[in-house]
A and B are shown apart, each in its own frame.
Chain A
Amino acid sequence: MSRYFSLGRLIALLAKEVIQMRRDRITFAMMLGIPLIQLVLFGFAINSDPKGLPAALVAPTQDRYTRAMVTALELTGYYRFTHPAASAAEAEALITRGDVAFVVTVPSDFGRRVARGDHPQILIEADATDPSVASGAISTLGTVAAEALLRESGGEAAAAEASAAGIEVVVHERYNPEGITQYNIVPGLLGVILQMTMVMMTSMALTREIERGTMENLLSMPATPLEIMLGKVLPYLGVGAVQVTVVLVAAKLIFDVPFVGALPLLLLGVFVFVAALVILGYLISTASRTQMQAMQLTFFFFLPSLLLSGFMFPYRGMPEWAQVLGEIFPLTHFLRLIRAVMLKGADHAGVAQPMAALVLFVLGLSALALMRFRRTLD
């Protein structure tokens, strides 16, 4: 038996931890329940391509071009004109209150401009506080408008066709100029779910021993810090593996998330990420005295990582200093990795950078945790 590491001792620690985990029914159920519930909840919220959103129409002159336009918009299924004859002021109030998601303004000279072949304009104001709601409706706009006018001008002169193609749709996404697409979110969700459960569970692991007084006994027996850390961390790595499987399978079966990359590469990335998370959790638990403190520290870490990692807001859209700050979260690198692999089909070389960053996290955090570990009760 070596001085610093013994497989026998590690197995004893692992067996104990697994038994405890299994016996703690609620926690165990939550480890598997949380990811599923979150995925289904968020997944459906994101997946449902919102249709039939209320809209207001501001059109002083209701000529045939205008009517054609409105019909075309309604036919896309995204728009439901609940206020077909609103004044500009009414429309403004409606969108401010959130009663409508869009205000479509067709200027009074629209028909004349179409006829003249002049650049006709319509303005669509979208309430983009929830950008994913607005983006689908807006993305179809250009073609819809062009086709509508083409159809309306029918077999008329080629000039009309040309003018129709030149139609200009001006879109104002209001309140939130950024857009998030669902493909961005679903892989990201895996990272966020893992981060939340893994860090939280592990951060409780050591503090629970301190709180229950079993730490004194554990420390009085010949287990080394490395063995204690592995004994705590490995079982949660296993839980992480189960969570990943659940989320990935569910993402495929329920949401049909596109997956263009290599699965082994993705799993490798996930593994390194989860390792970084559980060790981070362990590090937190070496720094806290009570489970409550551990919980608070976890959330102190969780929220900024959510906001700065690029999960909530586009990473490149953040100010320079925030991007630098974002680099210190494993989640940031994991998001880059998983999006690259799942959506862009990146290969090993393509994700070398985030992968290296994650490996660095694992090594650095392990070293810190082993250093921080108190061999004594001081």
Chain B
Amino acid sequence: MNGEAAIEVRGLTKRYGGRAVVDDVSLTVRKGEIAGFLGPNGSGKTTTIRLMCGLLTPDAGEGHVLGHDIRRAGRAIKREVGYMTQRFSFYEDLTIEENLNFVAGLYGLRPARKHVADTLAGLGLTARRHQLAGALSGGWKQRLALAACIMHAPKLLMLDEPTAGVDPKARREFWDEIHRLAADGLTVLVSTHYMDEAERCHRINYISAGRLVAKGTVAEVVRDAGLTTVVLEGEALAEAARRLRGADGVDQVAPFGATLHVVGRDGASLRASAERVAAETGSRMSAAETSLEDVFIQLMGDAKDTGR
């Protein structure tokens, strides 16, 4: 068994009604690493996470999570993993404190009272502990769920879009917390749709239509995509954008405030097209860094071509 890998799965496949929702996914997450899990809606992120924490049985593939076989040792995995579901799945008709008591009881935490009190204090919810969980705002529900699933000090956290609907400050605090936990040796797999969050991950995995299509550090993913990006600045950007769409070598055209991002796989013909349009519309063209978002948009476009 690989002592360094917290997650190591090969060829994971899950079919629903004959359609492979997760298709031959192989994934390695090292201990202490923060791994990002990205992909468009319906690409199979949640399903993959469920497969890895023993909530679904794979149709094919195998692997180990924290050294436990995902097919056979579901119980052991559940004890050592903290899984935060995408949809709030604590009890809305229980108070915050009752929910935490429930979790503490299920994991057999001793003394339960102290664990719960500490968690409440950490959340800053001590004063509101008798409030029904269902009455919390969306962002607070997320925070409660996160606090509940790290209460039993798991070795691995699987977070499914933990910051959806959370305000920027709370999001920042959340990520600071994640990094602090990772520094203490916790491994984190986190799915997200936010680019800034992806960039705070040590490594990212991009899944599209059930297939893992890109992985590595952000820099690696951007480099491997092999994209060229130029920006246009000027007065007649709308006209420039119109002319660039569908032009030779141009795959993406996106206005960003006063600039126009133009991205393409074929660098030479992209530059040629951009120079021509820049001259026609009196804009200035300059080379630019390809961003992670550009890469993802490109990958999504590719997935559409292959069909879902």
Please list the residues of chain A having a beta carbon within 8 angstroms of any beta carbon in chain B: 1, 3, 6, 8-9, 11-13, 15-16, 19-20, 23-24, 212-217, 219-224, 375-378
The answer to whether B105 touches A1, judged by C-beta atoms less than 8 angstroms apart, is no
> What are the residues of chain A within 8 A of B74 when measuring CB–CB?
375-376
The answer to whether residues A213 and B87 also contact, given A1-B108, A9-B105, A221-B106 and a CB cut-off of 8 A, is yes
| Cα separation A224 to B74 with both chains bound (whole Å) | 11
The answer to whether B85 touches A20, judged by C-beta atoms less than 8 angstroms apart, is no
The answer to whether A216 touches B107, judged by C-beta atoms less than 8 angstroms apart, is no
> What are the residues of chain B within 8 A of A24 when measuring CB–CB?
93
User: Nearest Cβ distance between residue B194 and chain A, in whole angstroms?
Assistant: 23
Known: A216-B87, A223-B106, A224-B75. 11 other contacts (CB 8 A): A12-B105, A16-B94, A20-B94, A212-B89, A214-B89, A216-B89, A220-B55, A221-B103, A221-B107, A375-B74, A377-B55
Among B78, B91, B104, B105, the residue within 8 A (CB) of A220 is: B78
User: Nearest Cβ distance between residue A205 and chain B, in whole angstroms?
Assistant: 13
The answer to whether residues A376 and B54 also contact, given A9-B105, A222-B78 and a CB cut-off of 8 A, is yes
> What are the residues of chain B within 8 A of A13 when measuring CB–CB?
102, 105-106
Question: Does B92 have its Cβ within 8 Å of any Cβ on chain A?
Answer: yes
Chain B residues with a Cβ closer than 8 Å to the other chain, count: 30
> What are the residues of chain A within 8 A of B87 when measuring CB–CB?
213, 216
Interface hits, B102-116 → A, CB 8 Å: 102-108
> What are the residues of chain B within 8 A of A23 when measuring CB–CB?
93-94
The answer to whether A15 touches B85, judged by C-beta atoms less than 8 angstroms apart, is no
Please list the residues of chain B having a beta carbon within 8 angstroms of any beta carbon in chain A: 50, 53-57, 74-75, 78-79, 81, 83, 85, 87-94, 98, 101-108
The answer to whether residues A376 and B78 also contact, given A15-B102, A20-B91, A221-B103 and a CB cut-off of 8 A, is no
Listed A/B pairs (24) with beta-carbon separation below 8 Å? A6-B108, A9-B108, A11-B105, A12-B101, A12-B104, A12-B105, A12-B106, A13-B106, A15-B98, A15-B102, A16-B98, A16-B102, A20-B91, A23-B94, A213-B88, A217-B85, A217-B90, A220-B53, A221-B78, A222-B78, A222-B107, A376-B54, A376-B57, A377-B56
> What are the residues of chain B within 8 A of A216 when measuring CB–CB?
50, 55, 85, 87, 89
User: Nearest Cβ distance between residue A340 and chain B, in whole angstroms?
Assistant: 43
User: Nearest Cβ distance between residue A345 and chain B, in whole angstroms?
Assistant: 46
> What are the residues of chain A within 8 A of B55 when measuring CB–CB?
216, 219-220, 376-377
Pairs of residues from A and B, 9 with the lowest C-beta to C-beta distance, nearest first = A12-B105, A217-B89, A220-B83, A221-B106, A213-B89, A222-B79, A16-B102, A222-B78, A214-B89
The answer to whether residues A8 and B85 also contact, given A3-B75, A19-B94 and a CB cut-off of 8 A, is no
The answer to whether A15 touches B90, judged by C-beta atoms less than 8 angstroms apart, is no
The answer to whether A8 touches B108, judged by C-beta atoms less than 8 angstroms apart, is yes
| Cα separation A8 to B103 with both chains bound (whole Å) | 11
> What are the residues of chain A within 8 A of B91 when measuring CB–CB?
16, 20, 214
| Cα separation A212 to B108 with both chains bound (whole Å) | 25
User: Nearest Cβ distance between residue A156 and chain B, in whole angstroms?
Assistant: 82
User: Nearest Cβ distance between residue A21 and chain B, in whole angstroms?
Assistant: 10
The answer to whether B50 touches A222, judged by C-beta atoms less than 8 angstroms apart, is no
CB-nearest residue of chain A to B83:
A220
| Cα separation A15 to B98 with both chains bound (whole Å) | 9
CB-nearest residue of chain B to A221:
B106
| Cα separation A377 to B86 with both chains bound (whole Å) | 15
Most buried by B among A12, A15, A217: A217
> What are the residues of chain B within 8 A of A376 when measuring CB–CB?
54-57, 74
User: Nearest Cβ distance between residue A154 and chain B, in whole angstroms?
Assistant: 79
CB-nearest residue of chain A to B47:
A377
User: Nearest Cβ distance between residue A9 and chain B, in whole angstroms?
Assistant: 5
